[in-house]
Amino acid sequence: MGLSNMGLQILYEILNDQDDIVAERVYAPWIDMEAAMREAGIPLFTLETHSRVADLDVLGFSLQHELIYTNVLNMLDLAGIPIFARDRDASYPLVIAGGPGAVNPEPMAAFFDLFVIGEAEELIVELADIIKDWKRTGGGGKQELLRRLSAIPGIYVPSFYDVSYTDNGLVREIKPNKGARATVRRRVIKDFNKIAVPTKPIVPFVDAVHDRCSVEVMRGCTRGCRFCQAGIIYRPVRERTREQIVSGISQILNNTGYEEISLSSLSSTDYTLIEDTLKTLSDEYTEKGVSVSLPSLRVDAFSVQLVKEIAKVKKTGLTFAPEAGTQRLRDVVNKNVTEDDILSTVRTAFEAGWQRIKLYFMIGLPTETEEDLQGIADLAKKIVDIGWQSLDRLARNRLMVAVSVSAFAPKPHTPFQRVAQNTLEEFERKQKFLGENIRGRHLTFKWHDAKSAVIEGTIARGDRRLADVIYNAWRLGCKFDAWTSEFKYDMWVQAFSDMGLDPRFYAARERTFSEILPWQHIDTGVTAEFLQDEYERALSSETTEDCRFNVCSSCGVCTNLDVDNILFG
């Protein structure tokens, strides 16, 4: 699974292209392998050279999801590396982290020496150069190394900041020490085309998730969905040229022999030259049996027409994300699609020959009512009816509309970062309601575990005090929490109780605009004023248009990060 992480593939190639840097991979071993390693006394090792992880200069983790945080602790322990940063001197690897989880680093601050905030393609080489110089000159101790690294824009050293709390548990102050800057601003790649497409990806000996030729056609999304953290922390939109994409794909296919191409981004159909690029790829590779896929589709007929053109080699199901069942709630979250858009899109898909449609929704969104829940069931049934009308008699037997519902967890740096998350009881009541109403031939209903969503939401907006909870949960046996089969809710509840902390304080509590947030010293470039304005517009069901195609929404990112919102065409 780890091999599919495109960010790690990019950094792997950038680092190994340097003459005096060697980057190797290590992933969390599955439970049976870990048990065998511990029994045999085998420490965690790299895949390339089987080197002990504890012997490396730097150990970097990508924090993709809150429910893999206990895996970090488990890997450190398996490597023989002290788990808490305070217990590691310069003889141990520098333990660093990046990824979306780093935009609220506080729950994991006790375990890491530093965090990379933002995009690391340029920063990671700057970091390595300072470490090389520090080693060459005899160092000066770990604190001196951290001091030098903290001068790099985008580097956050938690030990250089003191956090105090009020008597009622709120953050009183986040105060830099040792000369650290007051806020750490996200690093961003200003010219995306200067970052080469990784053309030599590792081809595994075993089946891997997303084992295909993947090229990032653009980075960022300005659609403005108010629940979406990625839409904030990857702004602004930056596009690759069509020539760079086509050339990169050609080299990857020659180097790997892959038979599937994926044009990846947060919203690939928003890429300015998507039609021309797909036509070029289709003309070149269709007869060679190489398929092209778009992993993210907007709910519009344009998306379906694009997929129709590229589905000549392999035709799979279509997935769309209406997110909410009523227009009012879609406006609250700024989805900017109407029910007519949705129904027109699925009609186009059915008429083009698709028989399976998957729909993603969320429950627990701000201002949600029972009418909104009923709207999910009603919309799914309308889509079944359209499929029945659009397909011929034989195809109707294969008609399937799959409804998947996840529980909403508010995330930092979004317009909903201060809202109260639904309690477990509220989520389970809503899941039961939908289970009773989404029934019938050609309909399936699946839901994500609400218990894991509650823990996710608690950690996502946590502060430094959660480090002891995460450590205690790991000691109790929690790991691979993102896997339903391994998630142990009762142990997480116990971990909070043992530390005298209430998860509801972090998840199920509305936060005022005067409250200092635990991640307030991390600057994504998007202003607090914009996030507050978007939240207030949400409460009034007012939508905000995409600034790429309409007026600037004044989020601040282009000005603060000195980056243009780039369009080609």
Q: Categorize the per-residue pLDDT at 301 as very low, low, confident or very high, splitting at 50, 70 and 90.
A: low
Confidence bin at 208 (pLDDT 50/70/90): confident
CA distance 99 to 236: 17
Asked whether 457 and 507 are in contact (CB, 8 A), the reply is yes
Q: What is the mean pLDDT of residues 67-96?
A: 97
Half-sphere exposure of 90 (CA within 13 A, CB side): 12
Residue 252: count other Cβ atoms within 10 Å of its Cβ. Answer: 21
**252-294 confidence digits (pLDDT tens):** 999 999 999 999 999 888 999 999 999 899 889 988 989 888 8
Spatial distance between the Cα atoms of 156 and 521, rounded to a whole number of angstroms = 10
For 385-406, write each residue's pLDDT tens digit: 999 999 998 889 999 999 999 9
Mean pLDDT for the stretch of residues 436-463: 96
pLDDT of residue 566: 54
In one-letter notation, the amino acid at residue 244 is Q
**DSSP-derived 3-state class of residue 414:** coil
CA distance 463 to 170: 9
Note the residue count of the chain.
569
pLDDT of residue 569: 35
| Residue 567 pLDDT greater than 80, yes or no | no
pLDDT in tens, 33-47: 999 999 999 999 999
Give the side-chain half-sphere CA count within 13 A for 351.
Answer: 10
Half-sphere exposure of 541 (CA within 13 A, CB side): 8
Q: What is the pLDDT of residue 316?
A: 66
Rg (CA), the chain: 24
SS3 content of the chain, % helix, strand, coil (to 5): 40, 15, 45
Question: Encoding tokens for residue 366?
Answer: 């701000």
Beta carbons of 111 and 95 less than 8 angstroms apart = yes
How is the chain split into domains, by residue range?
A: 2-185, 191-316+510-569
Query: What pLDDT shows up at residue 203?
Result: 85
Output the DSSP codes for 397-419: TT-EEEEEEEE----TTSTTTTS
Q: What is the mean pLDDT of the chain?
A: 93
C-alpha to C-alpha distance for 145 and 152, rounded to whole angstroms: 12
Nearest of 464, 444, 477 to residue 357 by alpha carbon:
444
Rounded Cα gap, residues 383 and 318, in angstroms: 13
Provide CATH code, domain 191-316+510-569: 3.30.750.210
Residue 81 has pLDDT above 80, yes or no: yes
- pLDDT, one tens digit per residue, over 136-189 is 988 789 999 999 999 999 999 999 999 999 999 999 999 999 889 999 999 999
**Token reading at 427:** 């989520």
- Of the chain, the percentage scoring pLDDT greater than 70 comes to 98
**Partners of 443 in beta bridges:** 401
Whether 120 contacts 85, CB under 8 Å: no
At residue 312, the pLDDT reads 66
How many angstroms separate the CA atoms of 289 and 283, rounded? 11
Here the tokens at position 543 are: 């939508």
Closest CA to 451 of 421, 416, 479, 477: 421
For residues 499-517, average pLDDT: 96
Q: CA dist 89 to 94, 144, 447, Å?
A: 9, 12, 45
With 0-12 CB in 10 A as exposed, 13-18 as middle and 19+ as buried, what is 565?
middle
Say whether pLDDT at 557 is over 50: yes
Instruction: Using the Cα atoms of residue 250, residue 252, residue 255 and residue 261 in order, give the sign of their dihedral.
Output: negative
| Nearest of 466, 522, 422, 528 to residue 181 by alpha carbon | 522
| 3-state helix/strand/coil string of 476-487 | HCCCCCCCCCCC
CB 331 within 8 A of CB 542: yes
Give the pLDDT mean for 231-259. 94
Task: Report pLDDT digits (tens) over 329-376.
Answer: 999 999 999 999 999 999 988 998 889 999 999 999 999 999 999 999
